[in-house]
Amino acid sequence: MGNSVNVGIIGASGYSGEELIKLINRHPHCNLQLITSRQYADCPILKIFPRFGDLDHKFEAPNISKMLRSSIDIFFLALPHKVASEFAVPLFKAGRKIIDISADFRLNDKHVYRKYYKIEHQAPELLTESVYGLPEINREKIRYSKLVACPGCYPTSILLPLLPLIRENLVLTEDIVICSGSGVTGAGRKVEQPYLFSECNESYRAYSPVGHRHQPEIEQEISKAAEMPVKINFIPHLVPMNRGMNSTLILKLNGNVTAEKIAECYNKYYNDEKFIRVLSENVMADTKHISQTNNCEIGFAIDAETNKLIVTSSIDNLTKGASGQAVQCMNIIFGLNEYIGLGD
């Protein structure tokens, strides 16, 4: 294959799809061969996204037979849950590489999927084939995977700061409380009353404080790291900004753990990770520092009065929380420089 990767983006008219078009179009080792949208089939991309002035493609109607006849090396699925499985099954059986940005292959248990997504999983046989696409934690598994399930934006912002602490036994797995706030693009490009400008502007509110769809995904990955079942409280919030995400984790320290130990832990895991920036003690993560980048910023402080660790993290929900992380996974799969096409 050399240094050229032929790419198809299936379902490219949403916010994550638009971000993927931007990243793949400027990637020096990618040829963008297919961009699909049922809604905008046969419509020039420039009519929908005028920002891509050098792109003369048209949206195509998704056609599995045509995809299988193509020379495309990897397909990005930027589709709603359930719909992604419709394309993943035939592409996987044909030996094509897939990176799924939806929720269809993040959960390992089809029963948990049914509980939180209210439908039967359409391809349960692929749940054991998918690899959870968190590069800084799962890099080697991603490298050899045919089906990568990109984490959700909330889970990415939570698992990156939390998993090292769990693995090193620095915090307890009981009474974990996480509050996260997301920009409005986290809900996708859809017209619903809560996301209208006049409804969300000058407003900050929690939603789904119990049973949010990302909660089982977070618990699944924490439980793997802890090697025991873990339950958490997860409270998401809608923030009146376009993009960006900030999470605050309140954790019980395991004994007399010092700030130096926390810093050493993060240094062990992330010192060589270009996209992870660990801040000094008592400096908190800020969304303005990571906007439109693939970076994750992590800050922490210890409350000596309660022996609790407070950790904050910030990511761009469309980049590190979705499309940027997907491109990072693609780079790993094809043996490219992991950071190429994802510079600040």
- DSSP per position, 112-135: HHHHHHSS--S-GGGTTT-EE--H
Q: Does residue 340 belong to any structural domain of this protein?
A: no
Q: What do you get for the CA distance between the two ends of the chain, in Å?
A: 28
Q: Is residue 30 located within the same domain as residue 98?
A: yes
Q: Does residue 194 belong to any structural domain of this protein?
A: yes
Q: Is residue 195 located within the same domain as residue 308?
A: yes
Q: Is 153 a catalytic residue?
A: yes
Q: Is residue 164 located within the same domain as residue 313?
A: yes
Q: Does residue 210 belong to any structural domain of this protein?
A: yes
**What single-letter amino acid sits at 60?**
E
188, 189, 191, 197 alpha-carbon torsion, rounded to 10°? 90
121, 10, 155, 279 alpha-carbon torsion, rounded to 10°? 170
Q: Does residue 342 belong to any structural domain of this protein?
A: no
Q: Is residue 176 located within the same domain as residue 65?
A: no
Let me know if 103 is exposed, middle or buried by CB neighbors in 10 A (0-12, 13-18, 19+).
buried
Q: Does residue 73 belong to any structural domain of this protein?
A: yes
Q: Does residue 160 belong to any structural domain of this protein?
A: yes
Q: Does residue 127 belong to any structural domain of this protein?
A: yes
Q: Is residue 253 located within the same domain as residue 294?
A: yes
25: β partners: none
| pLDDT at residue 191 in the model | 61
Residue 62 tokens read as 């998704």
Cα atoms found within 13 Å of the Cα of residue 110, Cβ hemisphere only? 11
Q: Is residue 144 located within the same domain as residue 170?
A: no
Domain count, the chain: 2
**What single-letter amino acid sits at 273?**
E
Catalytic residue selected from 30, 43, 150, 153:
153
Q: Is residue 175 located within the same domain as residue 263?
A: yes
Q: Is residue 198 located within the same domain as residue 219?
A: yes
Q: Is residue 197 located within the same domain as residue 286?
A: yes
CA 73 – CA 55 distance, rounded (Å): 20
| pLDDT at residue 82 in the model | 86
| pLDDT at residue 184 in the model | 86
| pLDDT at residue 194 in the model | 72
Q: How many residues does the chain have?
A: 344
**What single-letter amino acid sits at 108?**
N
Q: Is residue 301 located within the same domain as residue 165?
A: yes
Q: Which domain holds residue 112?
A: 5-151+321-333
Q: Does residue 344 belong to any structural domain of this protein?
A: no
Q: Is residue 136 located within the same domain as residue 173?
A: no
Per-residue pLDDT 10s for the chain (344 aa) are 456 999 999 999 888 999 999 999 999 999 999 999 999 999 999 999 998 888 889 999 999 999 999 999 999 999 988 899 999 999 999 999 999 999 999 999 999 999 999 999 999 999 999 999 999 999 999 999 999 999 999 999 999 999 999 999 999 999 999 999 998 887 776 667 776 777 777 788 999 999 999 999 999 999 999 999 999 999 999 999 889 999 999 999 999 999 999 999 999 999 999 999 999 999 999 999 999 999 999 999 999 999 999 999 999 999 999 999 999 999 999 999 999 999 75
Q: Is residue 305 located within the same domain as residue 200?
A: yes
| pLDDT at residue 202 in the model | 79
CATH code, 109: 3.40.50.720
